[in-house]
Amino acid sequence: MRHENNAFPADTTLINLLALDEKEMGRLVQRFGWPRYRTGQILRWLYQRRAKDIHQMTDLSQGERTSLASITTISRATNCRVFSSIDHTRKLVLTLNDGLTVETVMIPDEGRLTLCVSTQVGCTLDCGFCLTGTMGLKRNLKPHEIMEQVLTAQDRLDSGERITSLVFMGMGEPLANMEALSEAIRRLTNKPWGLGWSPRRITVSTAGLAARLKDIAPFGVNVAISLNATTDNQRASLMPAVNGIAPLKTLLAACRRYPLSPTRRLTFEYVLLAGVNDRSDDARRLIKLVRGIACKINLIPFNEFPGNPYRRPSEYDISVFQSIVRQAGIDVFVRKSRGRDVLGACGQLGNLSPEYAERALTQIEARC
Ligand code: SAH
């Protein structure tokens, strides 16, 4: 049995149940000649009970479990390193089957816990303020590798914690891996056998792949657009690849066309870089750009990493920028930087070698 997405990697190896979507699971169940409801049972064991072993599936008969285990397995990540920040943010570094690593960040905050999930190893885009961009794209993650981040985070919750929201703001550009992203969202939101989350708990953040925005709309998740600049010149110098694909006019036109229900709004993210895009003129242009769009704005003060020329603006400059935007009647928030000491904050995910990371951490601490 072979399959193009490596769910059935080779004739001699076991099929990873987590790599199957609902249809493929249905075919497997059919192949065994089992009743159809077994499909939902197996999927529930995987996602709702996070089974790590087929023999845990006690609503299957002993014989069925043995048959299933003869050709399939539950292949979960075995290597997970955890970096804990003094602010209780935890960065999980998972090793994938091929040895590449992917990062996920757990961010607890006053009874809430946001999980920041990656969709690619590295990124094709080359945004000049983002560490992931410096790695280039290693590869897209598969749906089960996206889900693995969620399942592992759930395994590692402290007592009393629960994941209240999930943001696709980790490594990579989610809309450049649309197929795997869609399948992961289906598994997260499916009620009968998946995690059953409301799509409102999920946010997909894009650097601005305008043409793909409409493809995410049917899922009903929140959408965040990383605007980061207010003129094409400025945006092309900060985010050359993505602004080449969709300049500001195209991007904002796609945002205006985005089919929002009356109670929903888009989020614009805006990384604040000292002396680059944090002046009052920038704030005024930002107001004009988003005029007429149901939106809120999240300002993200730049998180530094070694070798990067940009700097974080002063608290004073951040608050001046925020008040100009707020005075125009726009909801505008400053994102708290979390997990900076473990390189777990926005834009700090990527493959720094441990020694380099250690030096990096000291350098950053010294500057704060
Ligand atoms: N590729 C997607 C998601 C990953 S980045 C996107 O661009 O939206 C998530 C957010 O972090 C984006 O808004 C991005 O602009 C921001 N970001 C990237 N590097 C940063 C840094 N060094 N400091 C602060 N924010 C950063």
Q: Is 304 in the pocket of ligand 1 (CB under 6 A)?
A: no
Residue 93 sits in the same domain as residue 63: no
Give the chain's end-to-end CA distance (angstroms, integer): 55
pLDDT of residue 307: 87
Pocket residue to mutate for ligand 1, from 166, 202, 269, 349, most atoms within 8 A of Cβ? 269
pLDDT of residue 357: 56
User: Whole domain around residue 355: which residue ranges?
Assistant: 80-367
Residue 191 sits in the same domain as residue 219: yes
CA distance 302 to 129: 8
CA of 347 to the centre of ligand 1 (A): 5
Residue 10 lies in a domain: no
Residue 237 sits in the same domain as residue 277: yes
CA of 271 to the centre of ligand 1 (A): 7
Q: Which residue minimizes the CA distance to atom 14 of ligand 1?
A: 226
- Identify which of 230, 243, 235, 234 has the alpha carbon closest to the alpha carbon of residue 288: 230
Residue 117 sits in the same domain as residue 178: yes
Residue 125 lies in a domain: yes
Residue 234 sits in the same domain as residue 252: yes
Q: What pTM value is reported for the model?
A: 0.92
Residue 25 sits in the same domain as residue 88: no
Q: What are phi and psi of 96, to 5 degrees?
A: -85, 170
CA of 348 to the centre of ligand 1 (A): 9
pLDDT of residue 8: 46
Residue 202 sits in the same domain as residue 62: no
Closest ligand 1 atom to Cα of 168: 3
| pLDDT band at residue 116 using 50, 70 and 90 as cut-offs | very high
Residue 103 annotated among the catalytic residues of the structure: yes
Q: Is 129 in the pocket of ligand 1 (CB under 6 A)?
A: yes
Is the pLDDT at 3 greater than 80? The verdict is no
Catalytic residue chosen out of the listed positions 24, 64, 103, 148 = 103
Burial 207-228 (b: 16+ CB within 10 A, else e): bbbbebbeebeebebbbbbbbb
Is the pLDDT at 2 greater than 60? The verdict is no
**Total domain count for the chain?**
2
pLDDT of residue 352: 58
Q: What would the pLDDT profile of 216-271 be if each residue is shown by its tens digit?
A: 999 999 999 999 999 999 999 999 999 999 999 999 999 999 999 999 999 999 99
SS3 state of residue 41: helix
SS3 state of residue 194: coil
Q: Which residue minimizes the CA distance to atom 7 of ligand 1?
A: 207
CA of 225 to the centre of ligand 1 (A): 10
Q: What would the pLDDT profile of 161-200 be if each residue is shown by its tens digit?
A: 999 999 999 999 999 999 999 999 999 999 999 999 999 9
Q: What average pLDDT score do residues 140-156 get?
A: 98
